[in-house]
Amino acid sequence: MLNKYYLTTAIDYVNGAPHIGHAYEKILTDIIARHYSLRTDNMFFLTGTDEHGIKIQKTAASQGITPKQLCDENAQKFKDAWAKLDIKYNRFIRTTDKDHEQIVQKIFQKLKDKGAIYKHEYEGWYCQGCECFLNPKDLTEDGLCPDHLKKPDVVKEENYFFKLTDYKDAIIKHIKEHPDFIVPSFRANEVLNQLEDIQDISVSRSKENVGWGIDILDDSEQSIYVWIDALSNYITAIGYDPDGSSEQFKNLWPVDVHVIGKDILKFHAIYWPAILMALDLPLPKHIFAHGWITIDETKMSKSLGNVVSPTSVLENFELKYPDAFRYYMATSAPCGRDGNYSDQDFKEKVNAHLANSMGNLLNRSLSMLVKYFDGEIKPEFIENRSQEAESLLKTAIGTIKIVENHFNHFEIQEAAQEIISLVDATNKFVTDNAPWTLAKEEKMTQCGQVLATVLEIMCVISSLIYPYCPNIATDMAKQLSYDVATKYDDITVSNIKAGKLITKEEIFPVFLRVDSELADKSKK
């Protein structure tokens, strides 16, 4: 058992509604959180929204509302979407929360008092999409931001700057000495290359140009700029305070993992560690940079009209629960690589894995138990099992450790593949041992032993699949009289007890094919 696990997502900018890319990150993080909830009693999952800056200010003005009204409206859209996707966070922080704003002011003042922040007049290329100044060498041949493909503005201001260059060598040293700091590891070289010519960064904006931000305590003409404001949410949300932090902060920090998109890795692997070093705080244990999600192999774009709402898939397929979508998104790409969504692939994968392989395995095993034994587990069914059965049960327990190891390295797709491999092995065991034939031959003890072995393994599978498919897993466990919240260290292969397990009326399919006319309807 771990003594704690603290993980965060990036906080989403609220000048628009959530899309499938936002959902991908939140689903991955929720799956990691649920997995670790079965490995510790002290798990904390943070998500939220980033609500200051020029884009919010301009979007609100174009809609004839205040920036706070825009933030309130769009932050709720994110909350509503995550509720529909069963994202169970411990806190949803908004950077307009009063406790966050007050601590950010203290953080800025502490860095300023320490000499890590200085005032400087600067002229440079500023990208509103990135909310940062860009080096000329980072622009495309046409002078555009490589991420947003727009020409940056020439901005000349007197702002406060953070001495990022003072921490360059320490960050390089940390990355090289901690090869698992950045996940996947191949991203570390990108960060090291970016560090080669890193410059000090602007951490404030003139109120004349950006009025929607957190005030600097002793400078009425400047507001705190995005990076100290947004990145600090990871510590303000759990009670950090330069004047004396909470017990919760002392218990949870350093964070175990920041789950972010690969496009903001520089800010989390360079800017954030430098700020933490300046605050004399430990660095994150891991930064997991996931890839992007394309739609039908095409990058999402408003101009192409292929931006997909995270809840539209649920509505399109009339899914009562989000489990199928969660499973599909989580298994759409290997660790840190790009993934793709398509309706056809979604149907094929979830039907194959969740309905045909896993759901049908449980349903037919319970149905045979009712048909041949009136739903009863006889004592001899769980005694003197065959060598083949014992080997499969051992494989099931071994799969727990394999899955745990994959999660230790944030290999979410790879862990799911192990679970489905266990399902496939169990299906093969049923086919090879043919309990229907054993019953026909009146070899009832052997038939019962095969079914009891399968149901025992289904208990393990329900716990393993729970982070991905919490509703399906709960329905599986209910029919097995098993506690799906059993901690992984406590899982055994003696969950199925002698006695009445289930009646015909209590059996229902945990997941019907998405193209079935009964799929995910209330009728079971």
Q: Please say if 130 is a catalytic residue.
A: yes
Dihedral, CA atoms, 19, 24, 25, 26, nearest 10 degrees?
A: 80
Instruction: Provide the β-strand partners of residue 117.
Output: 162
Neighbours of 114 (CB within 10 A): 12
Q: Annotated catalytic residue: which of 127, 335, 459, 469?
A: 127
Strands 153-162, 117-127: pairing kind: antiparallel
Q: Please say if 440 is a catalytic residue.
A: no
Q: Is 106 helix (H, G, I), strand (E, B) or coil?
A: helix
Does a cis peptide bond (omega within 30 degrees of 0) precede residue 179?
no
Q: Please say if 447 is a catalytic residue.
A: no
Distance CA 373, CA 500 (A): 9
Q: Please say if 469 is a catalytic residue.
A: no
Closest CA to 342 of 328, 352, 354, 330: 328
Quickly tell me which residue has 């498919």 as its tokens: 469
Q: Annotated catalytic residue: which of 119, 178, 250, 299?
A: 299
Instruction: Spell 122-135 as b/e; 16+ CB within 10 A means b.
Output: eebbbbbebbbbbe
Quickly tell me which residue has 């906080």 as its tokens: 11
Q: Annotated catalytic residue: which of 98, 137, 302, 523?
A: 302
Q: Please say if 459 is a catalytic residue.
A: no
Beta strand extents in 351-397 (DSSP E only):
376-377
Q: Annotated catalytic residue: which of 71, 130, 335, 469?
A: 130
Determine contact, residues 172/192, Cβ cutoff 8 Å. Answer: yes
Distance CA 479, CA 309 (A): 34
Closest CA to 278 of 112, 425, 160: 112
Instruction: Provide the β-strand partners of residue 49.
Output: 12, 94
Distance CA 68, CA 41 (A): 37
Q: Annotated catalytic residue: which of 145, 335, 447, 469?
A: 145
Write the DSSP symbol of residue 90. Answer: S
Closest CA to 339 of 307, 290, 281, 294: 294
Q: Please say if 302 is a catalytic residue.
A: yes
* Catalytic residue numbers, as ranges: 19, 22, 127, 130, 145, 148, 299, 302
